[in-house]
Structure 1
Amino acid sequence: MIPRLRNYTDIVGRQAISRIKASSENLVGKHVVHVNATSSGGGVAEILNTLVFLMDDLEIDAGWRVILGSHSFFKVTKGFHNSLQGKPGKLTTNRKSIYLEYCERNAMINHLGKHDIVVIHDPQPLGMINYYSKHGKWLWRCHIDISNPNQQVLDFLVPYIKRYEGVIISSDKFRIKTLDRPQVIIPPSIDPLSVKNKEVGRYAAKKLLAKKGISLDKPIITQISRFDPWKGTLGVLRMYEKIKEKVDCQLVLMGDMAADDPQGPVMYMKISKLAEKMRDIHLITEKNDLLVNALQQESALVFQNSLKEGFALTVSEALWKKTPVLGTNVGGIPLQIINGKNGYIIKDLNDGAEKAIKILEDSALRKELGRNGREHVKNNFLITRHLEDYLNLFNKLYPPSSLK
């Protein structure tokens, strides 16, 4: 189903829909394009898959471009991602050359110079701006945690970042302290009407899980994340070991491997090797939004044990389905988890195991955390709020008086 703004009325109310429509009036006919590195896998693609259509529904001429790149290019940009999140390492001349070559290639075939607003997502297409004589306003949307970056990589990228009108970040913690450009906070969001988030009947969910050998006879603990070193999946396995000693449960680790992430298969092998030594563990690598939905809905609790994180929309996805979440105090996770109210911020693996056991052994607590979680997401992390934030920002770039 193509996303239409009117379809969200029953969820967010008429007043919110009317406010969004009013915010879009001055932007009708404006050419807006979003550019990122992949059409599937990860939260950015999921957001754009709804956000762009909602902008079009408001008569903004919105589009979405996905850049092309070789394996070597995506290996370099994955290195950028890791370095911007604080991983040590040197940026070689060869890596710079590979990066800039593909930025230029993509600039040549995408013709973005005459759009009114260009939103570039994450480091992969960041350097494309270097190959245009700008007509409109360019924004860099950084979805990752850059609070403690590898300075060499940041220094390489800053000259390109400075060509943008501003930077969009997910949290105040992610500000680039040395950057003299406006930095605007727009947290990401989930689409409550997507296949991943709309309500699934219990019978249908049970049937979906049964096909993967997952029964509802034992409580399900889940982590759904890319197979990426930053997601802390090995730590989830260690916590599960401790939980299993107290509660007879099962663990599901589900994650796909995005086209722009060459580290995925390597990390999956490490996880698989450790999981082989344990009982009642299910590893799922397919991309299946309906299965994700069923898992998040039927799980007793969900982990998000990230070591570094941009936002982790899997937290809001689970909370929306009234499932408590235990997560680390990184990135956007503490914006979503209100400690003790809709889940827990865990200090370490022992604390995570203890909190999980507490939830598993107390069904009343589990239900209370779940109810609070859905309400928190409804008020803060739905796509309609996200859309409105973008419209408000675009109106600042093109105030009503400048559009006449």
Structure 2
Amino acid sequence: MQVIDTPAMRPATLDAFLTLIGPERAGRLRDAARRLRGGLDGGTLWHVNSTATGGGVAEMLYVLVPLYRALGVPTRWAVVDGDTAFFDITKRLGNLAYGSTADADLLRPGDLEGYTGHLAGEAEELRAVLRPGDVLLLHDHQTAGLVPLLSAETAGIYWRCHVGVDEPTDGSRRAWAALAPLLDKANGVIFSVAAHLPAELSGHRVAIIPPVLWPFAPKNQHLPAGQLPGLLDRCGLGGPGTVPGYVLADGHRDPAEPLVVQVSRWDRLKDMHAVLTGFGAVPDAQLALIGPDPASIPDDIEQAHWFDVCRTTWTALPDRLRHRTRLVCLPMHDLDDNARLVNAAQRAADVVVQKSLAEGFGLTVTEAMWKARPVVGSAVGGIAAQIEHGATGLLLDDPHDLAAFAALVTRLTSGATDGAALGRRARARVHDAYLPDTDLRAVTGLLCA
């Protein structure tokens, strides 16, 4: 187990955020923080997840923990460690929760015992830092097994799920058959999307709290125009020059053609290889698929496999299409630098796509909307919750329909649909619904009810 020491939020940054949300929302935020601080009664709110880098949960905690602290709420963050065997089990468990029915994702005899046995050691390390009165907020299936181990030793224990499927499958039922008994003693559960709450947890206290975006983070902050060319060159999206070693490209991007970007983990459910295939029907445009270095995400052992699938798909493309597409595998050793590169790529995009087969929420969609980019997203999970089709983006009804996907993208790259208007309304939507004050107010409502 690791305790993550997040930097303190500067007073000027907090002031800028309060100014951004306006005096009425700022007042409600401060009131909620006072109420939560009183409810903790001297205890600390602990967030616990399974990785400090990569993915939306870690990114969100780097914001929420300093913000809560800046508002006077004692808050800390711990990360459970795991070996390959543990993360293999949790990856399959997560795939099942996302609806997978593949035999390779089924739990095997001894898996749950191995999972809970490993977490028993993590619970022991947590006991060494917990104090009477502390409250735990556990994130995702990697941590669910901590509930029965620590519920009797905390003032409250809550579990937050960032994954899910819109319609139950045999796979998702298997996942919840394994997870639900572990959550019996949880004081409450949190889901990002109401439709993802399984029947097995319907008897719990439930809060629906979507993830949030931090507007001043390196990934989302305004970038001066003078910084963009250098950052885009480093992503392999600039003009003629050397293509970085982590970019797979056949030639250089033509800046005269619209740029389409998807930013995702290399993951089966993000369907990046199908985006490559479907993009062939989009005329006169270029595509960049951008993800992290697969070796940098220890709790997701399938990243390397799905990047290899994308690389194989890209290599097999016809020369004309391969020349219009590129794979960008960004380094993760400096998280702020990585975030700036993603920021630049999203801002340079004429269209951002997220053709997920399933999605817990989809913060990459939120990020693009905040940058006033027109988004084409699958009508699944939190993407459908964020985007109103035709008003704040375009929704793909069937994420497997590559012809429909190409047609929606072409509406934007050709100018047939006003992407700038979609983008303006999308940014306003994020401002109203997905900034961090909404999280703190909602968490207070659950913990202090």
Instruction: Flag whether TM exceeds 0.5 (same fold).
Output: yes
> Is 1:279 matched up with 2:323?
yes
Deviation of 1:129 after TM superposition, in Å, equals: 2.0
Distance 2:379 2:175 in 1: 25
SS at match of 1:34: strand
Q: Comparing 14-23 with 3-12, which one deviates more in the overlay?
A: 3-12
> Is 1:100 matched up with 2:116?
yes
Which residue in 2 is equivalent to 1:266? 305
Q: 2:197 aligns with which of 144, 151, 175?
A: 175
Contact 2:235 2:341 in 1 (8 A): no
SS at match of 1:307: coil
Unaligned residue ranges in structure 1 (runs of 5+) = 397-404
Contact 1:38 1:45 in 2 (8 A): yes
Which residue in 2 is equivalent to 1:117? 135
Q: Comparing 4-13 with 192-201, which one deviates more in the overlay?
A: 4-13
Contact 1:126 1:160 in 2 (8 A): yes
> Is 1:250 matched up with 2:273?
no
Deviations 1:126-180 (A, max 9, x none): 1012223233111100000145253233212211111101110011101111322
> Is 1:157 matched up with 2:179?
yes
Which residue in 1 is equivalent to 2:84? 71
Q: 1:228 to 1:115 in 2, by over 3 A?
A: farther
Contact 1:301 1:324 in 2 (8 A): yes
Q: How does 1:297-316 map to 2 (within 5 A)?
A: 297-316=347-366
Deviation of 1:376 after TM superposition, in Å, equals: 0.8
Q: 1:159 to 1:337 in 2, by over 3 A?
A: same
Contact 1:33 1:115 in 2 (8 A): no
Contact 1:77 1:123 in 2 (8 A): yes
Contact 1:32 1:115 in 2 (8 A): no
SS at match of 2:381: coil
Which residue in 1 is equivalent to 2:248? none
Q: How does 1:83-232 map to 2 (within 5 A)?
A: 83-88=96-101, 89=103, 90-111=106-127, 112=130, 114-132=132-150, 133-147=152-166, 148=168, 149-179=171-201, 180-215=203-238, 216-232=255-271
Q: 1:59 to 1:227 in 2, by over 3 A?
A: same
Deviation of 1:388 after TM superposition, in Å, equals: 2.0
Deviation of 1:384 after TM superposition, in Å, equals: 2.1
SS at match of 2:446: helix
Counterpart amino acid of residue 253 in structure 1: L
Q: Comparing 363-372 with 50-59, which one deviates more in the overlay?
A: 363-372
Q: 1:139 to 1:219 in 2, by over 3 A?
A: same
Distance 1:140 1:325 in 2: 31
Deviation of 1:213 after TM superposition, in Å, equals: 2.7
Distance 1:324 1:114 in 2: 48
Counterpart amino acid of residue 142 in structure 1: C
- Tell me the TM-score normalized by structure 2: 0.84
Counterpart amino acid of residue 408 in structure 2: K
Unaligned residue ranges in structure 2 (runs of 5+) = 1-6, 239-254, 333-337
Distance 1:255 1:114 in 2: 41
Contact 2:165 2:196 in 1 (8 A): yes
Contact 1:118 1:138 in 2 (8 A): yes
Contact 1:5 1:17 in 2 (8 A): no
Contact 1:113 1:136 in 2 (8 A): no
Distance 1:60 1:26 in 2: 9
Distance 1:60 1:226 in 2: 32
Contact 1:30 1:60 in 2 (8 A): no
Deviation of 1:226 after TM superposition, in Å, equals: 0.4
Deviation of 1:113 after TM superposition, in Å, equals: 6.8
CA RMSD of aligned residues (A): 1.7
Give the share of equivalent positions with the same residue, in percent. Answer: 30
Deviation of 1:337 after TM superposition, in Å, equals: 1.2
Q: 1:44 to 1:207 in 2, by over 3 A?
A: same
Which residue in 1 is equivalent to 2:93? 80
Q: How does 1:37-52 map to 2 (within 5 A)?
A: 37-52=50-65
Which residue in 2 is equivalent to 1:320? 370
Deviation of 1:363 after TM superposition, in Å, equals: 7.9
Contact 2:188 2:446 in 1 (8 A): no
Q: 1:159 to 1:10 in 2, by over 3 A?
A: same
Counterpart amino acid of residue 317 in structure 1: E
SS at match of 1:218: coil
Which residue in 2 is equivalent to 1:400? none
Distance 1:305 1:364 in 2: 19
Contact 1:209 1:291 in 2 (8 A): yes
Contact 2:33 2:440 in 1 (8 A): no
Counterpart amino acid of residue 65 in structure 1: A
Which residue in 2 is equivalent to 1:289? 339
Q: 1:350 aligns with which of 391, 399, 403?
A: 403
Q: Comparing 104-113 with 292-301, which one deviates more in the overlay?
A: 104-113
Contact 1:31 1:61 in 2 (8 A): yes
Which residue in 2 is equivalent to 1:23? 32
Counterpart amino acid of residue 448 in structure 2: N
Distance 2:133 2:313 in 1: 49
